[in-house]
C-alpha cells in the first residue's frame, strides 16, 4: 500500500554538491544531473589549489562564540585533530555545562532514522592546518542525538570517525547512537588506499556494535570515477576483508537514484539512493510523493525483499532534504521564469516537505538519511549568480541554532531509537 500521494516520478532531477576530502573532487553530491535520462554532466570543477586556498580562508575565518557555537580549532594533534582547544585543555562530556546547555531542546525531535553529517574542518588536506576539534564534535553529537539514532559520515580523513565515536562515548550514547562509517572513493588511487586503510584501522580498533554499516563511496558512478564493475569489486573486496576479521556489518555504496542497476544492487548489501525532489523542480507539497515514487520505481524494484536475513534494510534513501534559502529550481534543462516557480528554497518549504515526508516515513518504515545536520558556510564557493543554496541545507545554522521558523515534526510524540 502506497504511503504517499501518487505522482509521476519522471521529473528531471539533480543531486547535491559536496565536501571535498582531497581538494580535487567534492565529497558529497555534484549538483548537476539529468535523473530521468541518465545523462551525466559535471557542473564545474574547482581547481585544487584555489579550492584549498579558499577553503582555508573560509574555515580559518570562522569566529568562535559561547556555548553552542561551532568554533574553528586553534591547535591540532599529531594526527590532524584537536582534542582540547575549546575547554582549556579538557574534554567535554555529558556532565559539562556546555553540553548540558544543549540538551532537552523542545524544538528537537528524534524522528530521523539517520542524518548526513560532516564535522567542521574535516576536509583533507586543509585539516592538517586547521583540524576538527573534539569538543566541537561532542557538542554536535549532543544535538544530533536529540534528532536521530544514527549519523552518516562521508569519509575517514582527519580522524573524523574516531572523533565522532569518542564524542558518543564521552556522552554515554554508545547504546543509543550508531555511525554509518563512510569511505570516500574517487579516481585517485592514493586517496582510495588512504581512505580504505583508515577504515580498516577504525574497524580493528572499535567494536562493530558501534556501527550501523559501512558505505564505500558516494556517487562514484555519477562522477565516472570508477566503472560499475570496478566499484562492485571494491565492495566485494571490503566485504571479504571484513569477513576475515569476523566483522558482520552491511557493506554498501550510495549513488544517484537512477544510477543503480541490478548488478550493482547484487554487489551492495543495501541499495542507497540519493533522491532530492528540489532538483526535480517539484513543489514541496508533492515532493514526498515524488520522492517515494522515484525511489520505488528506480531503486526498491531492484531488490527482492525489504530486509536482509541479518535484519538491515535492503533499500535506504541516503540523501534527501530541502534548502532553506538561495533561489529556486525548475528541473535540469528548465529555466525558471520567475522567483516563485518550481522548487523554491525557503524555511516554509522545508517545513512543508518535512511535514509530508518525515512522519509518514516513520509510519511505513522507510529508512532515510536527512541531508543535512548543519549549514556549511564554506560551500558558498559553489554559489552562482542565481543558485545560492549550496551552503543552506542544514536543519540548523553553522552555530547549532535551529533555523528561525523551522518546525521539526514531532510525529505525535513517537521517536526512533534504532537506525533500522
- Residues marked active site are found at 219, 319
Contact 215, 253 (CB under 8 A): yes
Cα atoms in the 13 Å half-sphere on the side-chain side of 232: 11
* 3 state SS of 318: strand
At residue 358, the 3 state secondary structure works out as helix
Q: Answer left, alpha or beta for residue 50, where phi above 0 means left and psi between -120 and 50 means alpha.
A: alpha
Q: Are 115 and 147 in contact (CB under 8 A)?
A: yes
What cell numbers appear for 228 in the block? 560499475
List C-alpha distances in Å: 269 to 142, 239, 251, 305. 30, 9, 6, 12
Indicate the DSSP class of residue 372. -
Residue 215 belongs to what H/E stretch? strand 211-218
Chain centre distance of CA 234: 21
Separation CA 137–CA 119 (nearest Å): 6
Helix (H, G, I), strand (E, B) or coil at 1: coil
Cβ pair 269, 47 in contact under 8 A:
no
Contact 136, 120 (CB under 8 A): yes
Hey, what's the torsion of the CAs at 127, 175, 358, 36, to 10 degrees?
A: 50
Q: Tell me how crowded residue 32 is: count the other CB atoms within 10 A of its CB.
A: 16
Minimal CA–CA distance to 419: which of 174, 214, 211?
211
| Rounded Cα–Cα distance for residues 313 and 298 (Å) | 16
Q: Specify whether the CB–CB gap between 162 and 202 falls below 8 A.
A: yes
Q: Are 68 and 401 in contact (CB under 8 A)?
A: yes
The dihedral over CA atoms of 331, 406, 417, 300, expressed in degrees to the nearest 10, equals -10
Q: Reduce the DSSP state of residue 238 to 3 states and report it.
A: helix
Amino acid at each position: 500500500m502506497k504511503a504517499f500521494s501518487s505522482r509521476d516520478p519522471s521529473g528531471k532531477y539533480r543531486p547535491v554538491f559536496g565536501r571535498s576530502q582531497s581538494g580535487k573532487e567534492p565529497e558529497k553530491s555534484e549538483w548537476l544531473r539529468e535523473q530521468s535520462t541518465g545523462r551525466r554532466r559535471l557542473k564545474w570543477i574547482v581547481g585544487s589549489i584555489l579550492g584549498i586556498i579558499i577553503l582555508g580562508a573560509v574555515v580559518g575565518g570562522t569566529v568562535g562564540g559561547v556555548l553552542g557555537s561551532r568554533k574553528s580549532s586553534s591547535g591540532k594533534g599529531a594526527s590532524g585533530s584537536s582534542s582540547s582547544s575549546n575547554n582549556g585543555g579538557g574534554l567535554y562530556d555529558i556532565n559539562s555545562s556546555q553540553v548540558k546547555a544543549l540538551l532537552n531542546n523542545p524544538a528537537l525531535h528524534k524522528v530521523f532514522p539517520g542524518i548526513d553529517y560532516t564535522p567542521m574542518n574535516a576536509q583533507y588536506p586543509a585539516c592538517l592546518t586547521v583540524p576538527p576539534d573534539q569538543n566541537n564534535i561532542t557538542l554536535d553529537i549532543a544535538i544530533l542525538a536529540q534528532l536521530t539514532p544514527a549519523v552518516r559520515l562521508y569519509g575517514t580523513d582527519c580522524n573524523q570517525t574516531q572523533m565522532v565515536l569518542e564524542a558518543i562515548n564521552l556522552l554515554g550514547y554508545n547504546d543509543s547512537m550508531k555511525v554509518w562509517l563512510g569511505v570516500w572513493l574517487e579516481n585517485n588511487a592514493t586517496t582510495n588506499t588512504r581512505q580504505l586503510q583508515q577504515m580498516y584501522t577504525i574497524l580493528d580498533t572499535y567494536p562493530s556494535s558501534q556501527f550501523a554499516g559501512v558505505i564505500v563511496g558516494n556517487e562514484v558512478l555519477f562522477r565516472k570515477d570508477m566503472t560499475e564493475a570496478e566499484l562492485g569489486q571494491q565492495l566485494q573486496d571490503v566485504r571479504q576483508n571484513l569477513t576475515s576479521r569476523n566483522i558482520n556489518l552491511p557493506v554498501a555504496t550510495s549513488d544517484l537514484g537512477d544510477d543503480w542497476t541490478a548488478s550493482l544492487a547484487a554487489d551492495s548489501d543495501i541499495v542507497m539512493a540519493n533522491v532530492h525532489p528540489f532538483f526535480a523542480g517539484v513543489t514541496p507539497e508533492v515532493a514526498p510523493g515524488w520522492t517515494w515514487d522515484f525511489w520505488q520505481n528506480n531503486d526498491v524494484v531492484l531488490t527482492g525483499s525489504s530486509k536482509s536475513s541479518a535484519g538491515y534494510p535492503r533499500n535506504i534513501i541516503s540523501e534527501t532534504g530541502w534548502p532553506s534559502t538561495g533561489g529556486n529550481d525548475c528541473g535540469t534543462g528548465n529555466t525558471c521564469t520567475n522567483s516563485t516557480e518550481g522548487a523554491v528554497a525557503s524555511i516554509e518549504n522545508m517545513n512543508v516537505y518535512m511535514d509530508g515526508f518525515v512522519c509518514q516515513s516513520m509510519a511505513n518504515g522507510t529508512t532515510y538519511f536527512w541531508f543535512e545536520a548543519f549549514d556549511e558556510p564554506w560551500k558558498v564557493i559553489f554559489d552562482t549568480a542565481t543558485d545560492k543554496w549550496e551552503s543552506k541545507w542544514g536543519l540548523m545554522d553553522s552555530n547549532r541554532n535551529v533555523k528561525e521558523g523551522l518546525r521539526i515534526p514531532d510525529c505525535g510524540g513517537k521517536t526512533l531509537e534504532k537506525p533500522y
